[in-house]
Amino acid sequence: MSNKLRNGLCVLAAVGALLGARTASAELRVVATTPDFGAVARAVGGDRVSVEVLAKPTEDPHFVDARPSHVVKLNRADVLIEGGAELELGWLPPLVEGARNPRILPGAAGRIVASTGIALIDVPASVDRSQGDLHALGNPHFMLDPLNAKVVATRIAQAFCALDAPGCDAFRANDAAFAAAVDAKMQEWTQLLAPYAGQPLVTYHVSWRYFASRFKLRAETFLEPKPGIPPSPPHLAEVIGKMKTDGSRAILVEPFQERRVAEAVAARTGAQLASVSQFPGGVPGTDADYIALLDADVHAIAAALASAQAAASPSAPGR
Amino acid sequence: MDLLTLWLWPLLALVLLPGLLVYLGLHVVERGVIFVDLALAQVAALGVAVAILLGAHPEHDSLPYAMALLFTFVGAAVFALTRFRHLRVPQEAIIGIVYIVCAAACVLVLSRTASGDEEIKNLLLGNILLVTREQVLQTFGLFTAIGGVHFVFRHQFMLLSFDLERALALRMPTRFWDFLFYVSFGFAVTSFVQIAGVYLVFSYLIVPAVCGALLSARIGARLAIGWAVALAAGVSGLLLSTQWTSMDLPTGPTIVCVFGLLLVLSGALAVVIRHRETELSAVGAVPAGAEAKLE
C-alpha cells in the first residue's frame, strides 16, 4: 500500500517537474493592472509573452473589484506591471498578498512599477487624506502623454530582458518599433491639436493633465471638487461660472464617469462633450492598442474643440 | 489544488467563523428581532465610515475597528433599552429606523471622502476572498472567547431569548443580560463585518437559524442543521465562485445566493417531512428515511 502511494507520489512529482520545466521555457506570463500597460506590454513582448489585464477598460483604475480570477492570474504571473504612484493603492496590495506569488512581490524582478522614471506632475506639498486626496505621490495618469508611454515601453523591455534573456533582442526591436510608431503619430496629433493651442479643457478627474501639457492645451477645471470627491452642486456652479469667463468649450468624459453631470454642465455652458478614454478598449475601435486609443482621443478632442469654436463664432469658422 | 493554496484562508474563515454566528442567529430568530443584526452591522459600518472620514485606512489602521465597536456598543444599549413586553411601538420599528438612518448617514459621511461609493460597496459586500491569515486567526480567537461567555451563561441567555416570561418571573435583571447579549453579539457582528461585509453577516445569522427552525423544534437539532447549512453554503459558494464555474463570480454575493437556495430546499424538505409524518402517524408507523433523520 505504502509502496503504491510512494509510486504515485513519484509520478506526481515527475509530472510537476515536467509542468514546471514547460512553463519555464514558455512565454512570460504578464499581468497588467490596467489595459494601457497591457497594450504596451503586448507591443514590447510580442509572441514571447502572454498578457492579461485586471481592470476592464471601462472601469475606474482607482477602484477595481477583486474577483477570484484576479488572484489566480496574479498567482501564476511571472511579471506584474502596475502604474504605481498610488493609482492602484486601493485594490492591488490585498490582491497581491492573496496571490502568494514571490515573483511579483514589491522589489522582485517581476514587479514593474511604470511610474518610476516618469517625471510626475501635481505632487502635493502636503496631503490631507481626510479632504479626499487620491494622489499623494503626484498625478498617476501619465500614460496619456505618448512620450511617457515610450519611457514605459523601454522600462518594460528592460524588465523582460532580465527575465527572458534569449528574447532580449526581440524585446529591444519591438520597443524601438513602438517608439517609432509613436513618433510618427506624434506629428499628426500635434498638428491636429495645434489650432487650439492654449485652449482650456474641462475634465471630470485630473486624468488629462499630462495629455494637455504635451499638446499645449490647458486642463485646469475639474468637475470633481477634489480628486476622487464626487461633484457637488456648489462646485459645479463654480465650474459653470469659470467656464463662462474663460470660454471653456469642451468637456471630456470617460466611460466610468457620470456622464449626466457633464451633460448638465454642457447644457448650461453650451460646451461640447468628447467621449474619451485613458484605456485601450474604453472607446470603440481601440481594443488593446495604445496608438489607436491616442488616435481616437486626439480626434475626439479636436472635433469637440472645432465644433465648439464653430458654435461660438458661426460667421468665422476656424478662428 | 488552488483551494488549499490560494483560497486557504477564505476557506478557513468560512469553516471556522460561522459557528458562533449560527448560534447567535438562533437567539435572534427566536427573539423575533430579525433585523437587529442588519441594524447592528450597519451601525458598525457607520463607525468604519466615520473612521475613514477621519483619515484612517479601512484595513491597515485600528481606528476603524475601534470606532465600529464603539458605535456597536451604543447600538447595543439602544436595543437593550427598547425591549419591552407590551408596547405600542414594536421593537422592529426602532431597529428598522436605526438601520436606515445609519445607512443614510454612511452615504453622507462617505460622500466627503475620495472613494466613497467604493467604500460603501466594500462595507456592504466585504471581501471574503482577500481575508488574511491574521484576520482569520484573530477573529477566531475572539469568537472562541465570546462562545465561552455564552457557554458559561447559557442558562441566562437561553431563558432570555426563549422564555422571557419565566425570566421576568424569576426577577432576572433582564436589561443587564440583554445588554450583555447585544454587546457580545455586537463584537461578533463587528468583527465579521470587517471580513465579510453586511450582507454576508446577515445571511450567516438568519438563514441557518431559519432552516433549523423549519426542520426541527429542538434547539440542539436546529443548531446542528444550522451549522451544516452554513458550512455547505460557505464552502460551495467559495467553490462556485473560484473553481466550479468560469464565470468569475464575486464570492460574497455568491454565498448569499447559495444561502437563498438552501433555504428553499429546506422549505421543500420541511413540507415533505411534515407530509410523511402525518401519513406515517396515520398508519402508526415509525418515521424512516434520510429526511426523517434530520429531525
pLDDT at residue A219, rounded to an integer: 95
B137 in reach of chain A (CB within 8 A): no
Q: Per the CB < 8 Å rule, is B249 touching A68? A: yes
Read off the pLDDT of each residue in A16-30 and give the average, rounded to a whole number. 60
Are the beta carbons of A179 and A150 closer than 8 angstroms?
yes
pLDDT at residue A16, rounded to an integer: 45
Question: Percent of chain A scored above 70 by pLDDT?
Answer: 87
Q: Per the CB < 8 Å rule, is B241 touching A226? A: no
- In chain B, what is the straight-line distance between the N-terminal and C-terminal CA atoms, in Å? 36
Buried (b) or exposed (e) across B111-139, using 16+ Cβ within 10 A?
ebbbbbebbbebbbbbbbbbbbeebbeeb
Are the beta carbons of A57 and A282 closer than 8 angstroms?
yes
Nearest by CB: B118 against A72, A90, A98: A90
Q: Per the CB < 8 Å rule, is B114 touching A134? A: yes
- pTM (predicted TM-score): 0.81
pLDDT score of B197 more than 90: no
pLDDT tens-digit profile of A134-184? 677 899 999 999 999 999 999 999 999 999 999 999 999 999 999 999 999
pLDDT score of B110 more than 50: yes
Q: Per the CB < 8 Å rule, is A68 touching B55? A: no
The yes-or-no answer to whether A2-185 and A187-312 have a common fold is yes
Contacts of B5 in chain A (CB under 8 A): 75, 100
Instruction: Return the H-helix or E-strand segment holding A49.
Output: strand A49-53
Mean pLDDT over each residue of chain B, to the nearest integer: 86
pLDDT at residue A24, rounded to an integer: 46
pLDDT score of A10 more than 70: no
- Domain total for chain B? 1
Residue B216 neighbours by CB distance under 10 Å: 19
pLDDT at residue A20, rounded to an integer: 43
pLDDT score of A96 more than 50: yes
Residue B103 neighbours by CB distance under 10 Å: 19
Question: Percent of chain B scored above 90 by pLDDT?
Answer: 37
Read off the pLDDT of each residue in B32-36 and give the average, rounded to a whole number. 84
pLDDT at residue A128, rounded to an integer: 58
Q: Per the CB < 8 Å rule, is A68 touching B251? A: yes
pLDDT at residue A157, rounded to an integer: 97
Pick A272 or B278 by higher pLDDT. A272
B107 in reach of chain A (CB within 8 A): no
Q: Per the CB < 8 Å rule, is A72 touching B2? A: yes
Q: Mean pLDDT lowest for which of A113-122, A267-276, B177-186?
A: B177-186
Q: Which of A11-25, A54-68, A161-175, B24-38 has the highest mean pLDDT?
A: A161-175
Residues of A with CB under 8 A from a CB of B: 62-63, 65-69, 71-72, 75, 90, 94-95, 97-100, 128-130, 132-134, 226-230
User: If DSSP codes are grouped into helix, strand and coil, which group holds residue B270?
Assistant: helix
pLDDT at residue B84, rounded to an integer: 67
pLDDT at residue B59, rounded to an integer: 64
Q: Which of A21-30, A94-103, B63-72 has the highest mean pLDDT?
A: A94-103
B82 in reach of chain A (CB within 8 A): no
pLDDT score of B290 more than 50: no
Q: ipTM score of the complex?
A: 0.75
- Confidence category of residue B292, pLDDT binned at 50, 70, 90: very low
Q: Per the CB < 8 Å rule, is A68 touching B248? A: yes
B279 in reach of chain A (CB within 8 A): no
Q: Mean pLDDT lowest for which of A87-101, A212-226, B278-292?
A: B278-292
The alpha carbon torsion through A22, A23, A26, A29 (nearest 10 deg) reads 170
Question: Percent of chain A scored above 90 by pLDDT?
Answer: 72
Contacts of A258 in chain B (CB under 8 A): none
CATH class for the region spanning A2-185: alpha beta
Pick B79 or B290 by higher pLDDT. B79
What is the chain A residue with the closest CA to B9? A98
Nearest alpha carbon to residue A291 among A170, A152, A214, A178:
A178
pLDDT score of A4 more than 60: no
Question: Percent of chain B scored above 70 by pLDDT?
Answer: 91
Pick A3 or B218 by higher pLDDT. B218
DSSP string, A54-74: SS-TTS-TT-----HHHHHHH
Q: Per the CB < 8 Å rule, is A98 touching B242? A: no
Q: Per the CB < 8 Å rule, is B59 touching A75? A: no
Pick B27 or B286 by higher pLDDT. B27
- Confidence category of residue A129, pLDDT binned at 50, 70, 90: low
- Confidence category of residue B289, pLDDT binned at 50, 70, 90: very low
Read off the pLDDT of each residue in B154-171 and give the average, rounded to a whole number. 86
Q: Per the CB < 8 Å rule, is B127 touching A66? A: yes
Interface test with B, best of A12, A53, A69 (most B CBs within 10 A): A69
pLDDT at residue B254, rounded to an integer: 93
Contacts of B2 in chain A (CB under 8 A): 72, 75
Nearest by CB: A65 against B55, B115, B250: B250
What is the chain B residue with the closest CA to A100? B6
pLDDT score of A310 more than 80: no
Q: Per the CB < 8 Å rule, is B116 touching A230? A: yes
pLDDT at residue A213, rounded to an integer: 95
pLDDT at residue A316, rounded to an integer: 45
Read off the pLDDT of each residue in A289-302 and give the average, rounded to a whole number. 97
pLDDT at residue A182, rounded to an integer: 97
Q: Per the CB < 8 Å rule, is A94 touching B130? A: yes
Could you please state the CATH topology (level 3) that the domain comprising A187-312 is classified under: Rossmann fold (3.40.50)
Mean pLDDT over each residue of chain A, to the nearest integer: 88
Q: Per the CB < 8 Å rule, is A100 touching B6? A: yes
pLDDT at residue A260, rounded to an integer: 93
Q: Which domain holds residue B210?
A: 2-294
pLDDT score of A14 more than 60: no
pLDDT score of A19 more than 50: no
Contacts of B117 in chain A (CB under 8 A): 63, 230
pLDDT at residue A15, rounded to an integer: 47
Q: Mean pLDDT lowest for which of A235-239, B97-101, B165-169, B206-210?
A: B165-169
Residue B199's CATH number: 1.10.3470.10
Q: Cell 477645471 belongs to which residue?
A: A221
Pick A270 or B113 by higher pLDDT. A270
Contacts of B59 in chain A (CB under 8 A): 94
Nearest by CB: A71 against B111, B112, B129: B129
Are the beta carbons of A248 and A200 closer than 8 angstroms?
yes
Using CA atoms, how far apart are residues B85 and B78, in angstroms rounded to an integer?
Answer: 16
Contacts of B6 in chain A (CB under 8 A): 71-72, 75, 98-100
Write the DSSP symbol of residue B240: I
- Confidence category of residue B85, pLDDT binned at 50, 70, 90: low
Are the beta carbons of A170 and A28 closer than 8 angstroms?
no
C-alpha cell at A27: 512565454
pLDDT at residue B194, rounded to an integer: 83
Phi, psi at A108, each rounded to 5°: -75, 160
pLDDT at residue B285, rounded to an integer: 52
Contacts of B115 in chain A (CB under 8 A): 62-63, 90, 134, 228
pLDDT score of B134 more than 60: yes
Q: Mean pLDDT lowest for which of A48-62, B70-84, B214-228?
A: B70-84
Q: Per the CB < 8 Å rule, is B248 touching A65? A: no
Q: Per the CB < 8 Å rule, is B117 touching A100? A: no
pLDDT at residue A6, rounded to an integer: 54
